[in-house]
Each structure stands twice: as structure tokens, then as C-alpha cells.
Chain A
């Protein structure tokens, strides 16, 4: 029974019985309770006199940073005797310091200013408002409402900056860039030799080759470097990212995609992003810093999901990418995806697959058991088989040990030209 029900019921019974039995003392004993009830009724709260606001220091920030929230509550009429307030915020954001909730007596002369900091985690977070519960001093009458103070916070994924990544795409753009264009001209990397023509700079002459020939002059050719078109595809299917015992490798895929997008855009390339999960989230290819913001926003909002349509990777809409566009797929990959990727390669899409090593991530979380080494070996064999099958079709797959930071992983595998990297898309 509520407190109001208790005290009201007692007063009611005393008055009824007192009147029915003509017992004045019962009526007299009810008076302290009536006074208590009347005091509470006189000081009862009303939300209509209250105003407030809360705002975020900045509308977007990177994961792991803190954001300051500042709020103000004020009352214009009678004081609110006891006000329980709580600034509602998504549970994914954890308070690091300050006051977000409390109990106060709010008077018109002393508005409340509160301030707190939240540690951001990736996502698009919505703040609905400030939850308020006001009561009279005796907690008999209660008024509860949510003060509208809606805010939205976009938290971009945190990522590590990459220095260089060597790939050799089939098709390049016309603007000078950082990727070899498979044609001779001005550049840095040695590409070949040709006979000297009138007008060639003397510093291009290859004196050793010319001396060996004896009669003719040869000049060095360099490989032109151009910008490229890049399609980043992030696998957001929940069942391909899920890990036994809870958890997911998806946050790693998102961070890797953010690193790659940042690198390629900073080099002047045209980058598009496709997130393939419960639905398709497509960011049209473009250049520059604005595109970087678009991609980071898309990555901030993305979550894993399931869909019957996109259960397998066969519905990857390749028409979104022009033919011969360099594709980078970030996915743990399922055995069922294998044939679809081979088919994609057959349509002349140079494809590089970066697979977060889900099995190792899972094994690190499991308790040691006698069966674990054998299970681990079988999983390794399966992964090895997938990698080999893809390699035979000209799709190169790199298995990313998640204990290794992404920049170190790229440094190890893709920082300098290797024979097989140069052959990506060559077939």
C-alpha cells in the first residue's frame, strides 16, 4: 500500500468510526494525521513550474574519449520540496566523473547546475531527457515526468593510423597517387628500360645498361603512381562474427575498416564503403575529408545483424563497384562464403580479404580443456583450407591475429611489396 493510501485510510477509518460511534476522541486522534496529510497536500509538487536543459560539449567524438554533459534545472513557482533527478543516458556510455543524478530541494532562487563526464563507446547514442520525480516533504504526493532534453552523440570508432599499405590494383585513376599503375613514366619505382629518345633527361640514362650494349643509350623507366578506386566491404553478419560463449569480433572489423578508409583517403584515393549485415549500408565512393567523415559516421552507427536475405555473401551487390575496382573485404569468413568469393574474383574484381582470426579469439576466452588443442588444430586446418582455396582462385586472404594491433599486422604483411601482392588482380 502506498504511503498516501496508508495515511488516508487511517484518517478515513478514524473519521467513519468516530462519527458512527459518536466517539469524539477518535476524531481528535485523527487530527494529527489530517494535519500531516494537509501539510503534504499544501506542499505537493507540480512539474508545470519546472524547466531544464542539458547539452553535450560536442556532438561527435572518437571512441574512448570523454564527453562533458552540462545540465540546468530551475523552478519558477513554488519550490519542489524533494526532487529526484536523473539525466537519462544510454547504458553503453559510462560515467567517469561528476553528478548525473541526485536528490535536491529545488527553489526558484537556487537553480541546479550539474555537470558530468561520460566515457564514449562506439555508436550513435540518443539521450531522451532528464527523468524527474518530485514529491512533497512526506513522500505522499508524487509527480513523475521526463523533462525533454534530447541529444544525440555520435562516437566514431577508434582506429590506428596506418603508414603504408602495398597493393597493386588492376585499374588506377588518372591523378597521380600512391599506387603503381603498371605503366612506365615519371615515378619512383624502377619499371624497365627503353631506348633513349631525343629530349629524355640525361639523369634517366642507365649508364650500366648502355655500356653493356656498347652502341645504344638506354634510359630508365619508372612506374607511374596513381590514385585508385577502393571498395571496402565490412561483413556485419552476426553469425559470422559471433564467438562461442558470447562476444564478437565485429568491433575489430570496424576498427580495421576505419584504419583502411583513413589511409586510402589520406592518400587521395576514392573510397566507398559497404556494410553487409542485416541490411546494406552503402556509402557512395568519393574523395577527401568529407568522405572520411561519411565513412566514420557509417562505421560509428553500424551494428551486427541478421537477415535471411543476406545470410550468405552471395547477395553482395557488386554492381555498386565499377569493374576492376580494388575490393577489400573484412570478414571472418564462413566456409559457405568460399564459392561466392571465387565467383566474385571471376568477374575481374581484385579482392583482398582480411579475416579477423575468430578461432584464436575464441580459444583465448575458453577454459583450458583436454579437447581444446585438437579443436584448435581442426579449426586451423579449416582456415588454412579456405585460405588456400581462395589463393588458388587469385583471392588473397590474410588471417589477422587479434592480439596483434592492426597497424602491426599491416606492417608485417602489407607494408612492402611482395611477389604475391604485386600479382593481386594480375590474372
Chain B
């Protein structure tokens, strides 16, 4: 995975978020965005991989905290997610001693990432535009159901995978 694409998506994410903060007049959050971007640049320069994750968490936090304008914040969130993912994928490709059918692997990854992003963007956009009147109990019930499902999924997958014999 070429680094320019990762940098481009990160820059686009930061820019759209910064413009969103500027338009909302949220100068404190704008400073946070600039700070996180600086952290990302410094991390990339010094080869610290954790800074990408820190930057991504900060981007999501800013988006969640400010919330408006959604037309800029949602793309910022999606681009941050794409950038975070591509950075990890690129580093895996670089670290592998051999990548067999590299173009096929990259194509497949981009396709899956694009699909996931489009689905996420569509659902999120629909949720931001449409308003559904739900009682608190129904909303809480649905939310709890989602949380329970998610927790179960994560718990199942996070059990320590010792070296097991294959079949």
C-alpha cells in the first residue's frame, strides 16, 4: 500500500474536520485537531506507530464532541478510519517477507474497505438526516441489544488464542 494514499486520506480527514470546526466556531476543538495532526506528522517522522491510533481516537472524539456540521464531520470520520486502516495494512505489507499476488491482495482489501465505508456512510447519513421518534425505553432497549451483541462478539474473539494445532 503506497504511503501517499494514506497521507492523502489523513490530510483530507484533518482538513475537513478543521474546516468543520472553523465553520462551527469551535476554536478549542480546532486547536485539538491541529494538535492531533501535528502528533500524526511527528509520529510518522519518528516512526512511532501508536501516534496513528492516538490521532484516530482524537479525530473520532472531536467529531463526537462537536457533532455539526455533519456534511464535513462524517467524511472526516470516514477518512480518518480509512487512513488508520490503510496505515496498518501498509505496514503489514512492508513487514511481510513476501507478499504473494500483492496486487490481488491490495485490490481485495481496498474493495472490502470501500464496501464497509460506503455501508457505514450510508447508514450514518441516513441516521443523521432522518428522524425516528422512539420512546426512551425502545431506544434504550435497542441500544442495549446492540451493546450486548457487540460485547459478546468482542469477548468471543478476544479470548487468548494460544498456539493451537490445526486440523
Closest to A25 in B: B67
- The interface size bin for chain B is 35 or more
Q: Given that A4-B154, A28-B127, A43-B112 are contacting pairs, would A103 and B70 also be in contact in the complex, using a CB cutoff of 8 Å?
A: no
Q: Which of B7-15, B21-29, B114-122 contacts A (4 or more CB under 8 A)?
A: B114-122
Residues from chain B with Cβ under 8 Å of A41 in the complex: 153, 157
Residues from chain A with Cβ under 8 Å of B78 in the complex: 32
Checking B81, B85, B96 against A103 with a beta-carbon cut-off of 8 angstroms, the contacting residue is B96
User: B3: CB under 8 A from chain A?
Assistant: no
Shortest distance between the CB of B96 and any CB in chain A (Å): 4
Residues from chain B with Cβ under 8 Å of A144 in the complex: 161, 163
| A39 close to B112 (CB less than 8 A) | yes
User: B46: CB under 8 A from chain A?
Assistant: no
Q: Roughly how many angstroms separate A209 CA and B105 CA in the complex, as a whole number?
A: 93
Q: Given that A1-B53, A82-B92, A103-B105 are contacting pairs, would A39 and B116 also be in contact in the complex, using a CB cutoff of 8 Å?
A: yes
Shortest distance between the CB of A106 and any CB in chain B (Å): 9
- Interface of chain B, main secondary structure: helix
Q: Roughly how many angstroms separate A116 CA and B128 CA in the complex, as a whole number?
A: 55
Q: Roughly how many angstroms separate A107 CA and B159 CA in the complex, as a whole number?
A: 26
Q: Given that A25-B128, A102-B96, A138-B85 are contacting pairs, would A32 and B166 also be in contact in the complex, using a CB cutoff of 8 Å?
A: no
Residues from chain A with Cβ under 8 Å of B157 in the complex: 4, 41, 44, 140-141
Residues from chain A with Cβ under 8 Å of B128 in the complex: 25, 28
Q: Roughly how many angstroms separate A347 CA and B67 CA in the complex, as a whole number?
A: 98
Checking B101, B112, B119, B161 against A142 with a beta-carbon cut-off of 8 angstroms, the contacting residue is B161
| B97 close to A101 (CB less than 8 A) | yes
Q: Roughly how many angstroms separate A22 CA and B167 CA in the complex, as a whole number?
A: 49
Residues of B participating in the A interface, judged by any CB pair closer than 8 Å: 53, 56-57, 60, 63-64, 67-68, 70, 73-74, 77-78, 81, 85, 88-89, 92-93, 96-101, 104-105, 108-109, 112-113, 115-117, 119-121, 123-124, 127-128, 131, 136, 139-140, 143, 146-147, 150-151, 153-154, 157-158, 161, 163-167
